[in-house]
Structure 1
Amino acid sequence: MENKDVKTAQLNRMHSGKGFIAALDQSGGSTPKALAQYGVQESSYANEEEMYTLVHEMRTRIIKSPAFDSQYILGAILFENTMDRKIDGQWTADYLWEKKNIVPFLKVDKGLADLNNGVQIMKPISNLDDLLTRAVARNVFGTKMRSVIKEANPVGIREVVEQQFAVGLQIFEKGLIPIIEPEVDIYSSDKEKSEEILKEEIKKQLSLLDKDVKVMLKLSIPTVNDFYKELMSDPHVVRVVALSGGYGQDEANQKLAENHGLIASFSRALSEGLSANQSDADFNTKIGQTINEIYEASIT
């Protein structure tokens, strides 16, 4: 397939395919937690390199599982270190697309700035241009970057959305599709109010885009069901996906199913119950069950 044809196939899959996105992008800060949840304690590795090797083994096991199948999974979000490693001799992004028909994304943010105006914007992404160039060379389709909204502060929320779209435009201009992720904290006392402000700010930014610009949105599951329906029909929006945001698997799926057209992009809820000590049969059964449940909640 020509590169242009691949991009078109991937775009069509992300826009109208049935399924969800697997978020396999825990980064440096959250990797020890992800490994501990998987049953690999900090005493198992002596340094960062060993830690990343172990987490790559975990992600490889997930990706190679027969249950990790394009019938259910449309795309997968990778951490930079995962993009730069191989599975069975192929770069991870190539393995995902060529062997699994799953669209590869890359997490590009460098974490969150301190809380200000009730929000955490992204820290500056110093090497973004270089990282995007490498992502293009590695055949990545799109990117993901996260900010967090803790309070219904109009100034802060506007700042989050403006930053996300400004960086998103830079990403789009490099030939990648950005996933814009302004997460509303699910424990926020004024979550619903934050979502109202957020939706208006997103609509404002979408209306300013040139007509060929495409983005994806990754949002917390809204308090009011189907609240993001009109964003889904915006011509600039390839897909609206939901994060699990700290809900357990069952609750996340239940809430997701009540929002029509919203699909999952879960990380914690995806790896819940998986363990390094499981036999392959048990591991594959467990992840298969999880994938099936998230898929069912995503196709409502």
Structure 2
Amino acid sequence: MPNSTQTDKISKGQGFIAALDQSGGSTPKALRLYGIEEDAYGSESEMFDLIHEMRARIIKSPAFTGDKIVGAILFEQTMDREIDGTPTGQYLWETCGVVPFLKVDKGLADAENGVKLMKPIPGLDALLERAVEKAMFGTKMRSVVDAADPVGIKAIVDQQFEIGKEILAHGLVPILEPEVTISIPDKAEAEEMLKTEILAGLDALPDDQIVMLKLTLPEVANTYKVLVDHPKVLKVVALSGGYSRDEANAKLAENTGIIASFSRALTEGLSAQQSDAAFDKMLGEAVDSIHAASVAG
């Protein structure tokens, strides 16, 4: 069963979830935004060393505490590494007071019926066993909605819940993340379809099981309020989805009970070249603004 103190932290905590889970495909972009070009590393292992240094710098910053950040989503390699000699998940909870989650998906399949389902996740059971050993509270997995297609949206939600049940069986709390692309013309219609399918999935869960949802900030404020209030939903969190931090914060503040789970919007402006003082100041300002928007709703 999930740790009850951590469950309370997510349920009642006044803060947001930091998404620090860029994987192999998105790491070069994340490093480039951080001021490290691709010619600065000669191999994949050097690249992952650099991204771990970046994440460790964020996590060790005095701005990164459980006062305003309730959780953090990690990439598998980050879970397997250490910060100052302590496994990352343990460090997050014991030192920062931040609940650790693990990204478990392996990327997206080709588009079909207006959606991109998740690719198969080989070795999921073994990964989930490791996640439990490494003190993870829950997991996250992303798929993408690109059109208001009822067949595709039902398929995407069915897949999320199907894998979510495997995760629940390991005593972990899954974050189901069917992201709606922010630029599509029928975004509001897609969100209504998505809400209907998610409600059906929740109603089919046993009463003693809870999930979390990570959703794109909706076109119509409080579209997802019924999900926020659902007894089988521990928390609804929002992804920034390509909105700037200011846009994402403004939209987030309009949605009651939803907190942020931002990635790029959190690290916007951070640079490897900054002094620790400048880095901590900029991260602190980002944390403060995202926290304020998360608790405003």
TM over 0.5: yes
Q: How does 1:164-203 map to 2 (within 5 A)?
A: 164-203=160-199
- Give the aligned partner of residue 209 of structure 2: 213
Cα deviation, residue 260, structure 1: 1.3
Q: How far apart in 1 are the matches of 2:118 and 2:74? A: 18
CA distance in 1, matches of 2:82, 2:282: 25
Counterpart CA distance in 2 for 1:175 and 1:29 is 29
Equivalent-residue separation in structure 1 for 2:292 and 2:170 (angstroms): 34
Deviation at residue 16 of structure 1 after TM alignment: 1.2
- CA RMSD of the aligned region, Å? 0.7
- TM (norm. structure 1) is 0.98
Q: Which residue of 1 aligns with 2:239?
A: 243
TM-score by length of 2: 0.99
Q: CA offsets, 1:84-116, max 9 Å, x none?
A: 100000000000001011000000000000000
* Aligned with 2:40 (options 41, 44, 54): 44
Q: 1:145 aligns with which of 107, 126, 141?
A: 141
> Percent identity among equivalent residues?
59
| Whole-Å separation in 2 of the counterparts to 1:22 and 1:188 | 26
> Aligned to 2:25, what secondary structure does the other structure show?
coil
Q: CA deviation digits over 1:174-215, x for unaligned, max 9?
A: 010000000000001100000000000000000000001110
Q: Secondary structure at the match of 1:266?
A: coil
- Residue number among 76, 84, 101 corresponding to 2:97 in the alignment: 101
Find the partner of 2:119 among 120, 123, 129. Answer: 123
Partner of residue 59 from structure 2, selected from 59, 63, 85: 63
Q: 4+ runs of 1 displaced by more than 6 Å?
A: none
Distance 2:247 2:200 in 1: 31
Corresponding position: 1:277 with 2:262: no
Match of residue 18, structure 2, among 13, 18, 22: 22
Aligned-partner residue type, residue 124 of structure 2 = L
Deviation of 1:233 (Å): 1.1
Q: Secondary structure of 1:93's match?
A: helix
The answer for the alignment partner of 1:78 in structure 2 is: 74
Match of 1:286 in 2: 282
Out of 200, 205, 213, the position equivalent to 1:204 is 200
User: Of 217, 220, 225, which aligns to 2:221?
Assistant: 225
* Matching residue's letter, 2:67: Q
Q: Please give the residue correspondences for 1:8-19 in structure 2 after superposition, counting only pairs within 5 Å.
A: 8-19=4-15
AA at the equivalent of 2:244: G
Name the SS for the 2:3 alignment partner. helix
Per-residue CA deviations over 1:128-184 (Å, capped at 9, x if unaligned) read 101000000001000000000000000000000000000001001101000000000
The gaps in structure 1 that reach 5 residues or longer are none
